[in-house]
Each structure stands twice: as C-alpha cells, then as structure tokens.
Structure 1
Amino acid sequence: MRVDGTYDRILEPRSPRRLPLGEGTWHQLARAYVRVQLISQGAVFALVLVAAVAVQALTGFAWLWIPAGVILLVTAIGLVITPRQARSFGYQLRRDDLVFRRGILWQRVVAVPYGRMQLVDITHGPLDRGFGIAQLKLVTAAASTGVTIPGLTQEAAENLRDTLVAVAETRRTGL
C-alpha cells in the first residue's frame, strides 16, 4: 500500500490471452473503497438474514429460505471477492486520452479521448464522505465509453477533474 492510501499495483491476469495494461503510470483506488464496499454488502447481508429469520418466525414459511439463501450466497461471494476486484481497477492519463481498466475475469479497458468528454462529475454518498472517498464520472457523447472511476480519494478526484478540464480547455474541445 502506498502512503496516499491507494494500492501499489494493478493485478494483471496471468493468462497469455489477457488484455495488456500498457506502459505508463497506473493510478489506483483508495483502500477505503474496499471498506465502504464491505460495509455496504455486509449491511445487505445482515438485513436479508434478519428479514428472513423474522418472516419465518412470524409466518412459519420455510420456502422463504430459497430466495433469501440465493441473495445471501451472492452477497457472501461479493464480500469475498471485493478486495481482489478493487485491486484490478486503475486509470492512466495518456497524451490524448484517459484509459480506465477494471476486472480480473471479465476485463474492460476503455480509452476516453479528452476531446470527447462532455462532463466530469464527482459524487460521493454519506458513507463515501465518512471515509474520504468519491467517484468520478466521465460523460461522453457515446454512452458505451462513459467511465465511472469509484473509490478515489477526495483529493485525487478533484485533481483528476481539474486536470481533465484543463486539458479540454487547451484543446478547445469537449468540456
């Protein structure tokens, strides 16, 4: 882990058929992102468990555990893979575009040209604010190339927003 609270490297799949990460500096998510995700998913897990127990106690329907069990299983899997998933996120500022990468099994690498950006938006919920993180959303004309970078420190999100706006101003395109 770096001093700024981010991961020190992007995990790269070992398969020879993987998508290459390329050269340059990859910026990472804040480690607080994992804590926020674990708290959110843990709350869903606890809420579903309590609701299932309460409904069964009141009604006596045992079949209720089938949908509740599916939800609990999916949430438990999410709790287990969240730390590894967070390490696969990263972004890189290149000369003409911003490249965003996420995913281990289902990889997605998106290059968003600076000239195509229409809006840079920073959002954060109450839990995010409590942990000092935000998400930065890049909106483009094409819906498929829009990128949301979750789990940035507030400072990193503001710096990235300012950098992207400055680049767009110098090129007189986009924003």
Structure 2
Amino acid sequence: MSIESTPAFDVAGVEWHRVSPRLIPVRMISAAVFLGLPSVGSVWPAWYVGGWMWLVPALLALLTVWVLWLIPRQVKAIGYAEQEEDLLIRKGVMFKTLTMVPYGRMQYVDVSAGPIARRMKIAQVQLHTASAGTDASIPGLPQDEAGRLRDQLSARGEARLAGL
C-alpha cells in the first residue's frame, strides 16, 4: 500500500476540489519574509564574530530552502468536498488530516484575506462550529469561490439547524 492511498483518508465517491495554485507564491513570500530575512540578517553578526556563528545563517538558509521546497507539496495536498450532510477538508503531506464538518454544527462562516492574498485574488474560508475543536479552514480559494462557498455553507448550516 502506498502512502497516498491510506484507508483512513479515502472517502468513496467523493469529488475533491483543489485550492488555487496562487496560494503557493503567497506562502512562499511569507516564508521568505519570516525565514529569509533573518537568514540574511544573521550574516553580519556571523561575519563579525566568525567561527561557530556561521551555523546560524547556514541553518536558517537551509530551513528556508526546505520550507520553500515543501510549500508546493502542502498546497497540492489541500482539498475539500461538499457532501449532502457535511463538508470534508483534507490537508497534509506527511501528517495528513481529514476533517468532516457537519452542516448542522456550523455557527458561522468567515472569509478572510491578507494583503498578499488579496493581491493574488485568493481568500480563506474559516468555519466556526458548536465545538471549538472542530473549527476548520480552507485557504487559497479564488475570491468568487470563497464567496460562493460562504453563502452555500451558511445556507446549508441554517437549513440543518432549523431542522433540529
């Protein structure tokens, strides 16, 4: 059995939707800012002190390269599927998660986007449920799809909640 086909994460008859590939550069820019800049900034102290201090920029640079290599794989692993009674969200390359959110447990749905995501015309849909432990999010959706999904999930949640 391969790593890709794990029975715990396979749902029969489900059509998975992928997030936008524009999420890749958004995450890469964030990684470059939060890891790349400290890596470059640590070169001057390493040059000044010398010796073992060169380990700091070297390790930060190595971590930056690894994260930039990993981001496209992480984005390609994100998917969601709308079913009759619940929303399925899967994430993860090495550490996989499959979240099933029943429509009847949704309290409200947020759509958010930072400045880089807005420039790339993508947004994140955040689901808030009756249980804080089951809140879920779908990052990297095109803005029109995020709006459609927000409206669809809100309508389904209200319909299921009204039936209780």
TM-score > 0.5, shorter chain as reference: yes
1:53 aligns with 2:27: no
Structure 1 gaps, min length 5: 1-11
- Matches of 1:127 and 1:133, distance apart in 2: 9
Q: Which residue, out of 118, 123, 130, partners 2:112?
A: 123
Task: Name the counterpart of 1:139.
Answer: 128
Aligned residue for 2:18, secondary structure, equals coil
Task: Name the counterpart of 1:82.
Answer: 71
Task: Name the counterpart of 2:9.
Answer: 19
- Matches of 2:85 and 2:60, distance apart in 1: 43
- Do the aligned partners of residues 104 and 138 (structure 1) sit closer, same or farther apart at CA in structure 2, a change above 3 Å counting? same
User: Residues 43-83 of structure 1: CA distance to partner in whole angstroms, max 9, x if unpaired?
Assistant: 334302221112234x4254333344333322221110111
The normalised TM-score by structure 2 is 0.87
Task: Name the counterpart of 1:7.
Answer: none
- Matches of 1:107 and 1:26, distance apart in 2: 15
User: Residues 121-167 of structure 1: CA distance to partner in whole angstroms, max 9, x if unpaired?
Assistant: 11110000010011111111222211111111111110000001111
Aligned residue pairs total 162
The normalised TM-score by structure 1 is 0.82
- Do the aligned partners of residues 62 and 18 (structure 1) sit closer, same or farther apart at CA in structure 2, a change above 3 Å counting? farther
Large movers: runs of 4+ above 4 Å: 15-18
- Do the aligned partners of residues 17 and 68 (structure 1) sit closer, same or farther apart at CA in structure 2, a change above 3 Å counting? farther
Q: Which residue, out of 23, 38, 42, partners 1:33?
A: 23
Structure 2 gaps, min length 5: none
Moved more, 162-171 or 127-136: 162-171
Identity %, equivalent residues: 35
* RMSD between aligned residues: 2.2
> Higher helix share goes to which structure?
2
Task: Name the counterpart of 2:147.
Answer: 158
